[in-house]
Chains A and B, each alone.
Chain A
Amino acid sequence: MGDVVTMDDLTNDEIISILDSAERLLPVAKGDCLLPVLEGKVLANMFFENSTRTRMSFETAMKRLGGSVLNFSSVGTSVAKGETLYDTMKMIEGYADVAAIRHPRQGAAQYSADAVEIPILNAGDGAGNHPTQTLLDLFTIRQAHGSLEGLNVVLVGDLRYGRTVHSLSHALIRFGASLTLISPSTLRMPEEIVSDLRAHGAGINETDSLSDQIADADVIYMTRIQKERFPDEDEYAKVAGIYKLSVSDLAGAKEGMAVMHPLPRVDEIDPSVDSTDHARYFQQAFNGVPTRMALLCRSLGVDVPKKVK
């Protein structure tokens, strides 16, 4: 099956193979050449929660490969009338060859994968997992450093609710990265994830201060403190804007250090960083296209040609 619900659904070799395919697909992703290998195939974009980059890059990825896309939104459809996820997915199974799903409830992707035969790609389930984001993050890190092995990656911000950092940290330790987790005490990485990471023998350092970690970092991965996840405004106000990176903070950084962000940003990264060589976040957003192209091909059992031109 071609389901990807968590990063555990992919071996390290499969991850590398997807990144290699994505690399070869770069000219197709940019629209410089045509490769209609998914012609006649249909992707269902099942977004039960808002999304900009993930939904659009899935759509672009499918269309660049000659496939077509059904865009579903839960507003004004049968979901609003009380349809179960099971029924919705059973219905879409008849209309599409593969589905990407984003849902506010955790576990929705695994549930969908069990409900239907078509491959399910998890595009974010509650505060759970977001493996396609992880693939594009890994792709971006590999572009910056040439490899994934043995890097010092600093994850900053909302590590409690941020599903991107949950999936990413799992994947990074499998490639021997050491992780520095920086968050306010209220937004620490969940216990079960930290215990999983340690069980893999990963070197993990948890702290709440960013400034003294910049010099040793190979990657600084900033995240937004998500206002919508806080039960009350006062708690949010205590931690809002706590981590900000501006060009002056990067004076002591290593030359090839990559600053990344899953976007949208609020004020975590000052626009002054955008013009430095460290800034990788817009490239990162673009990388969603080739990595999702590679993933769609894998899920639909289509080999990416060894030479793309």
Chain B
Amino acid sequence: MAEMRRVTAIRNGTVIDHIPAGHALQVIQMLHIDMTRSTPVSLVMNVPSDKLGRKDVLKIEDRELNQEQLDRLALIAPAASIAIIRNHALAEKLRVELADDMVNVARCSFSNCITKNAREPLPQRLSVISQDPLEVRCYYCGRGQDLEEVINNII
């Protein structure tokens, strides 16, 4: 490999590659990775990529993320490729899929939405109206949400 390895290979865990440059910290937030725990997490940001120009890469040791957790990333990292590593070997390759209905991924940004009352118990839901161009609306109030708003309202 021509490119110098910036962080060491992991023995067991999950590697998330092809995250759009600058978004790795939001990915950590979306995956609810508890940074106060002892699991090592390696972060590579703004490295050159043939596919994306520049990209971020995340390596989470000793934790295998499942498809449901990964699909939460579909809005901000639709092109992410995921490798589950067991005993230094690639055990599984996964991709994120954008669901039509995103449950408890992000809050609606509209100040007058019924879900703004934090005590209301039903889940936050965003509907994906179209994937390309990306169009997301609150399932309840119907208000359109741009990507920045979704990122600012990640749960």
Contact = CB atoms under 8 A, between A and B. Distances in A.
Interface string B43-60: 000000000000000000
A15 B122 CA distance: 30
Given A126-B141, A128-B141, A192-B144, A106 B119 contact: no
B144 A111 contact: no
Interface stretch (B25-33, B61-69, B85-93, B107-115): B107-115
Nearest to B139: A110
B117 A84 contact: yes
Contacts of B148: none
Nearest to A6: B142
A211 to B, nearest CB: 33
B142 A86 contact: no
A105 B122 contact: no
B122 A103 contact: no
Contacts of A128: 141-142
Contacts of B139: 110
B3 interface: no
Contacts, number: 61
Consensus secondary structure, chain B interface: loop
A252 B138 CA distance: 44
B114 A85 contact: yes
A84 B119 contact: yes
A8 to B, nearest CB: 10
Interface in B100-134: 108, 110, 112-117, 119-122
A84 B119 CA distance: 7
B140 A110 contact: yes
Interface string A107-137: 1101100110000000001111100000000
B143 interface: yes
Contacts of A86: 120-122
Nearest to A126: B112
Contacts of B138: 107
Contacts of A108: 114, 140
A115 B122 contact: yes
Nearest to B113: A107
Contact of A111 (B110, B112, B120, B143): B120
Contacts of A126: 112, 141
B126 to A, nearest CB: 12
Contacts of B122: 86, 111, 114-115
Given A86-B120, A107-B114, 4 more contacts: A84-B117, A104-B112, A128-B141, A129-B142
Top 6 closest A-B pairs, CB basis?
A: A107-B140, A107-B141, A106-B141, A107-B114, A105-B114, A108-B114
